[in-house]
Amino acid sequence: MKLPIYLDYQATTPVDPEVFKTMAPYFTEIFGNAASRNHEFGWTAESAVEKARAQIAHLLGATDKEIIFTSGATESDNLALLGVAELYREKGNHIITTPIEHKAILDTCHHLESKGFTITYLPVNEYGQVTPAMVRDAITPKTILVSIMAANNEVGSINPLAEIGKVCKEKGVLFHTDAAQAVGKIPLNMEEMGIDLLSLSAHKMYGPKGIGAIYVRRRNPRVRLAAIMHGGGHERGMRSGTLNVPGIVGFGKAAEICERTMAAETAHTLRLRERLWAGIRKELDDVYLNGHATERIPGNLNISFAYVEGESLMMGMKELAVSSGSACTSASLEPSYVLKAIGVGEDLAHTSIRFGLGRFTTEEEIDFAIAKVVKTVKKLRDLSPLYEMAKEGIDLKSVQWTGH
């Protein structure tokens, strides 16, 4: 077992060796530009791109013409929101989303607000989910788009996409989902779920970084998007720029592997996640699960450890690569906006750790992680007067702290 142990699979995943092997020739031997239509180098590159497009479409229950390549889910999110906003402005200026979306959605929404769009941020329940009824009630004659993530990147909770899709269809409103955390982990089908636009990223599913895609529905309804990158008219005019052929080939292979191994992988990851959670709970009191207990992506475990500061906890277990609930947006020591939105108090939000498990996580690593977490939490709590007071039955909320 090698240290440190990687338990941050929601941040990124290692490239699968099979993916890497498939990509390798496209850097040196098969290096053509997929847009070069005059010779064999271009044709070979183009056919590799089309094969990958079909592999990704198959995973999503879509057709290959509905897959548009981008640099990643952030760009796809921008293209979905800005592209719809520009082309459907005649119809309306209202967009519905949630306050716990990825920053790629939230920051784009704030930008649109400055351009005169109205954004409704639906409140989420204590698990970080929205209900179809809430979506239905928020739709107005001016609504052009509903954008709700498939699974949350911090707490892992999954939204009822098919039911939300049905509401959007009834109301004639486009439905976009940021599915970066969900693609390849849970079954998704564009037709069955009534999804019109979907963002995905290769590096969250054992493919390379810097390549992503957006699914754009072609019929019932045919979705049109204004481009946000101009020049050359690549990707059906929606996304110009020379295609990243090695990245696309790797992305396609990653999608094929995910489709083939999803059931087995889900079972493997779930078993390890339950082992980690059970192991921690057995040894520690005052630990709380954030997000839905069952309706969550298999590899996500987000826990608050009361009376322990998340940053100190991470410092104390340097052998584990995990992420904390306060530093999720890099330099800020504000508690995570996701945890705040689902009603986790400030104290607990500061004590939360996200464990991300995946394809290459082993039982041995999980057992090491349990021991390390338990030992570190116990040590920090021994140093904490708060923990001692709480154990003595003192209600910390009623304590009058004297200032200096």
> How confident is the model at residue 122, as a pLDDT?
98
Q: Give pLDDT tens digits for 299-312.
A: 999 999 999 988 88
Whole-prediction pTM: 0.95
How would you write 34-100 as a 3-class SS string?
CCCCCCHHHHHHHHHHHHHHHHHHHHHCCCHHHEEEECCHHHHHHHHHHHHHHHCCCCCCEEEECCC
Q: Is residue 180 within 8 Å of 205, Cβ to Cβ?
A: no
Q: Give pLDDT tens digits for 354-377.
A: 999 999 999 999 999 999 999 999
Reported confidence tier of residue 324, pLDDT bands at 50, 70, 90: confident
Q: Is residue 176 within 8 Å of 247, Cβ to Cβ?
A: no
> How confident is the model at residue 390, as a pLDDT?
87
Reported confidence tier of residue 339, pLDDT bands at 50, 70, 90: very high
> How confident is the model at residue 260, as a pLDDT?
98
- Nearest-angstrom CA–CA distance, 55 and 77: 21
pLDDT at 401 over 70: no
Q: Is residue 184 within 8 Å of 59, Cβ to Cβ?
A: yes
Residues of the chain above pLDDT 70, percent: 97
pLDDT at 327 over 60: no
DSSP state, residue 320: E
Q: Give pLDDT tens digits for 70-99.
A: 999 999 999 999 999 999 999 999 999 999
Reported confidence tier of residue 271, pLDDT bands at 50, 70, 90: very high
Segment 138-163 mean pLDDT: 98
> How confident is the model at residue 397, as a pLDDT?
75
> How confident is the model at residue 328, as a pLDDT?
44
- Which residues on adjacent β-strands are paired with residue 121? 97
> How confident is the model at residue 109, as a pLDDT?
98
> How confident is the model at residue 255, as a pLDDT?
98
pLDDT at 396 over 90: no
Segment 183-193 mean pLDDT: 98
> How confident is the model at residue 402, as a pLDDT?
67
Catalytic residue among 109, 168, 258, 328: 328
pLDDT at 202 over 60: yes
Q: Give the closest residue to 180 by CA, choosing from 220, 207, 146.
A: 207
Q: Is residue 128 within 8 Å of 302, Cβ to Cβ?
A: no
Q: Give the closest residue to 150 by CA, choosing from 215, 70, 244.
A: 215
Q: Is residue 105 within 8 Å of 76, Cβ to Cβ?
A: no
> How confident is the model at residue 298, as a pLDDT?
98
CA distances from residue 224 to 23, 69, 174, 180 in whole angstroms, order as listed: 32, 16, 11, 22
Write the DSSP assignment of 209-264 as a string of letters. TT-EEEEE--SSSPP----SS-STTTGGGTS-S---HHHHHHHHHHHHHHHHHHHH
Tokens of 233: 């008219």
- Nearest-angstrom CA–CA distance, 187 and 195: 13
pLDDT at 399 over 80: no
pLDDT at 394 over 90: no
The residue that leads in pLDDT, 51 or 328, is: 51
Segment 194-209 mean pLDDT: 98
Mean of per-residue pLDDT scores for the chain: 95
How do strand 352-356 and strand 300-305 relate by DSSP bridges?
antiparallel
Q: Give the closest residue to 258 by CA, choosing from 184, 343, 174, 206.
A: 184
DSSP state, residue 392: T
Domains along the sequence of the chain with CATH: 5-9+263-390 (3.90.1150.10), 17-258 (3.40.640.10)
> How confident is the model at residue 333, as a pLDDT?
64
Known catalytic residue at 328 = yes
Q: Give the closest residue to 277 by CA, choosing from 267, 287, 291, 286.
A: 287
Dihedral sign from CA coordinates of 203, 290, 296, 158: negative
- Which residues on adjacent β-strands are paired with residue 95? 119, 145
